[in-house]
Structure 1
Amino acid sequence: MSPDSSCPEPEQPPGGTLCTTDSLPAHRRHAYWRESLSRTFGAVDFSVPDEVQGGTIRAVPLGRLRAVTVDGERLTTRRTRRLVPPSGKDEYVVVKLLDRGVARLEQDGRDALLGPGDVFVYDRTRPFRLSLPQSFRTKSLLLPRETLGLSENDMAHLTASPLGPDTPLGRVLSPFLAGLVDGAGTYPSRIGELMVRNIVDLLGVLADERLNRTSPDAPRGNRALLLRIQAYIDRHLADPDLTPHTIARAHHISLRQLHRLFESEDATVGRWVQRRRLEECERELGRRASGRPIAAVAHRWGFTSAAHFSRVFRDAYGMSPREWRDAHS
């Protein structure tokens, strides 16, 4: 689709692009919406009813990946064999959370009906059809296909096989994907890269599950457990009693097994908890709107001693919490 010269360029908020029809005259919204969808998702055929006037797209880069949130009305998107690009171009896989609405995805001989909370995958290097027949919100990651490290056969078992929020892996992947997309553009680069790697590992776990390759002692099985534990830690950072013993007990594993899981993270369990607490404190202290006293910020994220917090914060960031706040305000 060639660009419509009447369509404005997308806005450029910090960290990404924002395309919205909210401020456009009614007669320009439909054309701008179609052009915005094509600009975001590439060579795909979009069918948008004439009465649909638009929506909002927020796209933020995460290294070589993109995090995309779309709020819109009815549409159908498909990639026919004619639209599949030559090998090496536009080779992206889309991991999508249906946050609101219903959908239908067809790819690789499967026809999946989707509801709120479902996570699903489609491969843009092969034909597919995705229909969204009512108002919807989706949160997506666009990953270069090579980052997954999956064979053609593995990918063919992964597409159009939704994970519901009531499945064990879905309960981990759905909130993790939503949080990653919502927070894109705000993470320190190291944290963003780690979270993306975790998504990739979870997709590998899903592929193993679909191909019956799972084993309790398999590396990917351990990786899935580690991700669940890290998500648990994030939910309980404010608890001063969060310790390796309580974490191990909550996941019905031994303390030795817990420490072994964290050997790949270049940190002990205790150091990981402290690092995550510091990152949350650092982010809150750097926000202009945050008027909370420094001691209150430290307490909010699980530090019981203001002196200890100041010492470890200076060790991590090279300045005191007050100097950090002053520098970023």
Structure 2
Amino acid sequence: MNDTLSVYLSGANAFGDFAREWQTRMGENFALAPFSPATVAGFGARSQGFRLRDVMFNRFESAASLRTTGPRVGADDHVRLWIVHRGLWRLGEPGGGTEHTAPAGRLLVQTGKLSHFAAAPHSTVQVLVLPAAEIRSERGRTASGSVDSAEVRLLTAHATTVRRMLDGLGPAGVDAARDTLAELARAVVRGGLDDTEPRLSPALAQAARDLADRRLTEPALSPAALARELNVSVRTLQRAFASEGQSLSSYIRDRRLDEARRALITPHRRMTITEIAARWQFADSGHFARAFRNRYDQTPSDYVASAAPRT
């Protein structure tokens, strides 16, 4: 069974609505833990995720503090990867037991039943749950690491792609998406990626696009720089893009042109065409004009003129 979840809830009945939606979408294998009364009363959150056969992935953004209570829940043969992007997340046994703390930028790996957890207000976490058989790990063990690794970037990029495309996947596509999630989870836990694994090419390409999109104005952005950050060879990265019919260099150039085109018609813009060319890392205005014309069949000046409101 597969399903997607996307909710943004707050207000008096928010927790009840969220719990019903979770039960419907995620099912008994990924049951919610019991929450404290204070958490239920002040609940407000955004949740986006999916269930893919025996794997679950969810991004959870809490508006208020969270805390579970009561017995552990869920299957005893699960592994959970908690990827904390914002705020503070605590996992374990409060009140004298072992409790692990993960601030933003840290990852917790926990095996066995879902333990107690708590989160500070305005915390954001992604959690992947999969069968323990996929990862060799001691039951009940909790390990920590950084979210700023190539393996975590690939995992989150692939999960984002799966969530977006899940409704359109056939049985073979679902199997491939699920197996790639498991392979990337193993890479996160062992701290190393098998970059010869062909199933990882789509995730590798997506992670490179995500990184490039955040750094389009940086002069050092290049396929070699992205390959270093993703801990793979340039050839491996280029091969991942070639399978999609586009080179990474072309992707970077096209995205810079897209952003420059938007900048040209930004209301009340203060940058000249030359300044826009420099911001988006074109060698000079002549180089920018040639690249722009090749892409859009107009010079930057003609594009600005054609986009201006007619009076």
**TM range, smaller chain:** 0.5 to 0.7
Letter of the structure 2 residue corresponding to residue 129 of structure 1? S
Paired position in structure 2 for 1:115: 102
Q: CA deviation at 1:61?
A: 6.8
Paired position in structure 1 for 2:15: 34
Return closer, same or farther for 1:266/1:172 CA change in 2, 3 Å cut-off.
Answer: same
2:246 alignment partner, SS class: coil
Where do 1:1-329 residues align within 5 Å? Answer: 17-21=7-11, 29=12, 32-39=13-20, 41-42=22-23, 43-50=31-38, 53-60=41-48, 67-76=59-68, 96-97=83-84, 99-105=86-92, 113-116=100-103, 117-120=105-108, 127-132=113-118, 134-135=120-121, 137-140=123-126, 153-154=133-134, 157=137, 161-165=142-146, 170-172=148-150, 201=180, 204-208=183-187, 210=189, 218-219=196-197, 233-240=212-219, 242-244=221-223, 259-260=238-239, 262-278=241-257, 280-281=259-260, 291=269, 295=273, 299-304=278-283, 305-314=287-296, 322=304
Q: TM-score, normalised by structure 1?
A: 0.53
Deviation string 1:106-137 (CA, Å, 9 cap, x unpaired) is 8xxxx7723112234679xx842341065451
Q: CA deviation at 1:246?
A: 6.4
Kept in 1, the 8 Å contact 2:64–2:122? The answer is yes
Return closer, same or farther for 1:281/1:76 CA change in 2, 3 Å cut-off.
Answer: farther
1:164 alignment partner, SS class: strand
Kept in 2, the 8 Å contact 1:119–1:170? The answer is no
Q: CA deviation at 1:274?
A: 1.7
Q: CA deviation at 1:311?
A: 2.3
For residues 305 and 179 of structure 2, the distance between their equivalents in structure 1, rounded to whole angstroms, comes to 37
Pairwise CA RMSD of aligned residues? 5.7
For residues 47 and 121 of structure 2, the distance between their equivalents in structure 1, rounded to whole angstroms, comes to 19
For residues 186 and 200 of structure 2, the distance between their equivalents in structure 1, rounded to whole angstroms, comes to 15
Q: CA deviation at 1:58?
A: 2.1
Q: CA deviation at 1:277?
A: 2.5
Kept in 2, the 8 Å contact 1:19–1:58? The answer is yes
Kept in 1, the 8 Å contact 2:195–2:236? The answer is no
Paired position in structure 1 for 2:27: none
Kept in 1, the 8 Å contact 2:151–2:193? The answer is no
For residues 294 and 177 of structure 1, the distance between their equivalents in structure 2, rounded to whole angstroms, comes to 40
Q: TM-score, normalised by structure 2?
A: 0.55
1:266 alignment partner, SS class: coil
Deviation string 1:198-218 (CA, Å, 9 cap, x unpaired) is 998576234146479x67664
Q: Unpaired segments of 5 or more residues in structure 1? A: 1-15, 22-28, 85-90, 146-150
For residues 208 and 249 of structure 1, the distance between their equivalents in structure 2, rounded to whole angstroms, comes to 17
Identical amino acids, percent of aligned pairs: 18
Q: CA deviation at 1:53?
A: 4.0
Q: Unpaired segments of 5 or more residues in structure 2? A: 1-5, 24-30, 169-175
Deviation string 1:242-287 (CA, Å, 9 cap, x unpaired) is 44566678889876566445433432232122233345457x5699
The total of aligned residue pairs comes to: 266
Deviation string 1:72-108 (CA, Å, 9 cap, x unpaired) is 2131178866x77xxxxxx9x87642521231158xx
2:216 alignment partner, SS class: coil
Return closer, same or farther for 1:248/1:48 CA change in 2, 3 Å cut-off.
Answer: closer
Q: CA deviation at 1:290?
A: 8.3
For residues 179 and 292 of structure 1, the distance between their equivalents in structure 2, rounded to whole angstroms, comes to 35
Kept in 2, the 8 Å contact 1:67–1:139? The answer is yes
2:255 alignment partner, SS class: helix
Deviation string 1:147-199 (CA, Å, 9 cap, x unpaired) is xxxx651157499755522xxx6434667888999xx8xxxx79xx9xxx999
1:46 alignment partner, SS class: coil
